Amino acid sequence: MSVDRTILPMASAAPTGAPTVDVRDLERPYPVRRAVRAPEGAPNVLVILVDDMGFGASSAFGGPCRMPAADRLAEDGLRYTRFHTTAICAPTRTALLSGRNHHSVGMGTVPELATSAPGYDCVRPDSMATLPRILSGNGYHTGAFGKMHQTPMWEVGETGPFDRWPTNEGFDRFYGFIGAETNQYSPALIDGLTPVEPPRTPEEGYHLSEDIVDQAAGWITNVTALEPERPWFAYVSFGACHDPIHVPESWRGRYRGEFDHGWNAQRERTLARQKEMGLVPEDAGLPAFDPDVPDWADLDDDERTVCARLMELYAEFAEHMDAQVGRLVDTIEGLGQLDNTIVLYVLGDNGAAAEGGLYGSANLVRNLNQVPYTVQDTLAELDELGGPMTYPHYPVGWALAMNTPYQQSKKYASHYGGTRNGMIVHWPRGIESRGELRHQWHHCIDVTPTILEAAGIPQPKIVDGVVQAPIEGTSFRYTFDGAEAPDRHTTQYFEIHGSRGIYDRGWTAVARHNQMAWARPRRPAPPFADDVWELYDTNADWTQAVNVADIHPDKLQELKQKFLVEAARFNVLPLDDRMHERFDPRRAPRPDLLGERRSIVLRPGMRGMREGTAPDFKNTSFTLEVHLEVPEAGADGVLIAQGGRFAGWSLYVRDGRPVYCHNRCGERTYVRGSEPLTPGSHVVRLRLDYDGGGVGRGGGVILRVDGREVATGRLERTIGFQFSMDETLDVGCDRGTPVTEEYAAQPAANAYRGLIDHIDVRLDERRDAPTQRERERVVMITH
């Protein structure tokens, strides 16, 4: 019997036959209701997404990072040399999993910068169902493992709503983290809808990349054992190779000395290798190196030592991640499932990331908060880099080299350095070609329609009662055995934070708009009308090395007009290059849990509150009153903490005495109570009087117990921008990494051993907020 797969969920067949009083009198038994079945022969699907990897990083695309699993899949599959992303993570991920342009699904920016505009509210319309929802409705098992940076910031707390969490967007199973980045040793993990702790400690050898694959492999093994004829869709999205660059100790040192030649020479070597592999034409030119980045020859010995070690670390991070992919592929092969599994290995959700600054950093949270960090600081931690006591990222020069042969980097949607990524497709049963290249032009919105076509599943008309908007991507199924097939995706716009471009049949017109984050002196972005557009004929100039705007002004004008047409069509307008305003819901309206409230009562068990849902303790005076009980035997532990090892604050009890610690990117200030708390009920009161006069200024601290002053102190400087991208505010413990090493790292060990009744939080009216210039710099670093 044929089924209508255009309406999801599919209607169940109604029971037939007249009912009887006695079941024994039925003429025939009622038919067994069968679960929805996928089309006959539908393949399994494995999408692997790497974070922050440039086109020229992996060995599979001519780069220096050895990635044997990628090489293996490419040698038995296809390499796509002109596959594109949006230039930044959350927009790419949403576009890939929906088949629509990122502004169409509201993800024109990252969730942290959402506004109320339709293209930027970070709320996917119900009329644009996700790939996992479509596959689930067609009989697939669906599981997501790793990074899911697609949930609006105001919905990531315990109050939800949970509509846009992975398990309510079509995934049966989710294990990973919801956010831009996370600590690879102490991640902010979610299992389904529940925050959980990692299964092992860093000391026991825990690493997130390994955990993600353990979970994915276990899930695939289980669903295959239970229902071997039912296909599955696994989305495995690594935190690697986003900062922090965390590498297990046994993997460190594998590239020692391999980058001493520097980033200028690496670009030349990579381009030569790419030409040998046929990834780019023989006449492809290398765009000029960024003049604001120093040449390797101009660095001193210490700078070269630090910069080379950070690149070694990145390569080790990439190879370690790829080794986990190899384990997963081996598992699938061992189950006899690999031949009929479409593997899409997407080597980057954008171009390589340049947030590390000119010389990299051992603690990127310092960069985020504009706390000076020198080459000598990194040099002092050289042997610790990549371990749990560091939060490192590599320098701009290496990011640009990892984007070879293209210019610019992540966040810049104008040039291919931000938007062109390598992709490998492997499907032995469905693709006859082996080890070949595909040069057709495609985009991440093309992944969803390709998978649906390969599975024999139509694009749905109605999902959960909602009429569906058409999928905007173009399937590249036609390329699987069509090396010479002409392009079908012929026009595509790009836009991120005002940086924009348009591709049309080989021509690209681009406007960078914003300065590169490392350029000095800083200048404000011009009005959009004053942007200088560049024009490239990529039919003849594959790498966008030669700007021909002056030679073809009519073509440039044509493409600029085409960009406006596409921008109007896909919710890109109005263009929005604001930075600091979008951090403040009052200036860029969006839902805000606290709204205008300046007080809140926190209760025991409230844990895992991200900065988007927690009270904002930065750049203002505040009061905390902790109402607690001390048992007869006494009690130590954390009362409330926010952030972690690399920036944060904590109020805790040690040796019976209340202690406040403010951790300014590793610089810790303590205010300690003078005597132990006696058994019984107490109110521990912390007051911080902020100096004002700017962002991240100091303040006076007073600790009181039952109204009596027990300690005073002073903070010369405070955290002004962000405690963490992933660490949380927790009541009764400190999850993730500890704010201070004075207590244990695991919440089970650092939890307060007495009873917390509640915590009254009162924030004074905010005195200072970051300036536009300060916020712009932080956004460039963060995203």
The 10s digit of each residue's pLDDT in 540-574 is 999 999 999 999 999 999 999 999 999 999 999 99
Q: Is pLDDT at 104 greater than 70 in this prediction?
A: yes
Question: What string of H, E and C letters represents the secondary structure of 144-210?
Answer: EEEECCCCCHHHCCCCCCCCCCHHHCCCCEEEEECCCCCCCCCCCEEECCEEECCCCCHHHCCCHHH
Q: Is pLDDT at 284 greater than 70 in this prediction?
A: yes
Cα–Cα distance, 104 to 504 (Å, whole number): 20
**Average pLDDT over every residue of 170-184:** 96
* Run of H or E residues at 657: strand 657-664
Q: Is pLDDT at 52 greater than 70 in this prediction?
A: yes
Intra-chain end-to-end CA distance of the chain, in Å: 50
* Reported confidence tier of residue 27, pLDDT bands at 50, 70, 90: confident
326-367 pLDDT, tens digit each = 999 999 999 999 999 999 999 999 999 999 999 999 999 998
Q: Is pLDDT at 264 greater than 80 in this prediction?
A: yes
pLDDT value at residue 782? 40
447-506 pLDDT, tens digit each = 999 999 999 999 999 999 999 999 999 999 999 999 999 999 999 999 999 999 999 999
Q: Is pLDDT at 774 greater than 70 in this prediction?
A: no
DSSP-derived 3-state class of residue 221: helix
* Run of H or E residues at 175: strand 173-177
Q: Is pLDDT at 775 greater than 70 in this prediction?
A: no
The residue to which tokens 């200024």 are assigned: 697
More confident residue, 646 or 30: 646
Domains and CATH numbers, the chain: 47-482+490-496 (3.40.720.10), 499-575 (3.30.1120.10), 599-770 (2.60.120.200)
pLDDT value at residue 63? 98
Q: Is pLDDT at 694 greater than 50 in this prediction?
A: yes
* Reported confidence tier of residue 778, pLDDT bands at 50, 70, 90: very low
Cβ–Cβ < 8 Å for 276, 309: no
Average predicted confidence (pLDDT) for the chain: 94
pLDDT value at residue 154? 84
* Reported confidence tier of residue 93, pLDDT bands at 50, 70, 90: very high
Cα–Cα distance, 64 to 41 (Å, whole number): 39
Cα–Cα distance, 154 to 593 (Å, whole number): 6
Q: Is pLDDT at 583 greater than 80 in this prediction?
A: no
Q: Is pLDDT at 628 greater than 60 in this prediction?
A: yes
DSSP-derived 3-state class of residue 83: strand
Cβ–Cβ < 8 Å for 781, 374: no
pLDDT value at residue 766? 61
For the whole prediction, is pTM greater than 0.85? yes
Exposure b/e, 739-777, CB count within 10 A at least 16 = b: bbebbebbbeebbbebebeebebebeeeebbbeeebbbb
Here the contacts of 746-749 (C-beta below 8 Å, separation 24 or greater) are 746/197, 746/201, 747/197, 747/607, 748/197
DSSP-derived 3-state class of residue 500: strand
pLDDT value at residue 484? 97
Q: Which of 197-211, 522-536, 666-680 has the lowest mean pLDDT?
A: 522-536
Q: Is pLDDT at 783 greater than 60 in this prediction?
A: no
Q: Which of 233-247, 451-465, 594-608, 665-679 has the lowest mean pLDDT?
A: 594-608
Q: Which of 351-355, 405-409, 591-595, 737-741 has the lowest mean pLDDT?
A: 591-595
* Reported confidence tier of residue 4, pLDDT bands at 50, 70, 90: very high
656-675 pLDDT, tens digit each = 999 999 999 999 999 999 99
**Average pLDDT over every residue of 376-398:** 97
More confident residue, 780 or 239: 239
pLDDT value at residue 780? 40
DSSP-derived 3-state class of residue 332: helix
729-749 pLDDT, tens digit each = 999 999 999 999 999 999 999
Q: Where are the alpha helices (DSSP H) in 491-609?
A: 553-569
* Run of H or E residues at 208: helix 208-226
Cα–Cα distance, 132 to 47 (Å, whole number): 11
DSSP-derived 3-state class of residue 595: coil
* Reported confidence tier of residue 771, pLDDT bands at 50, 70, 90: low
pLDDT value at residue 578? 85
Exposure b/e, 489-498, CB count within 10 A at least 16 = b: beebbbbbbb
Q: Is pLDDT at 314 greater than 60 in this prediction?
A: yes
pLDDT value at residue 779? 41
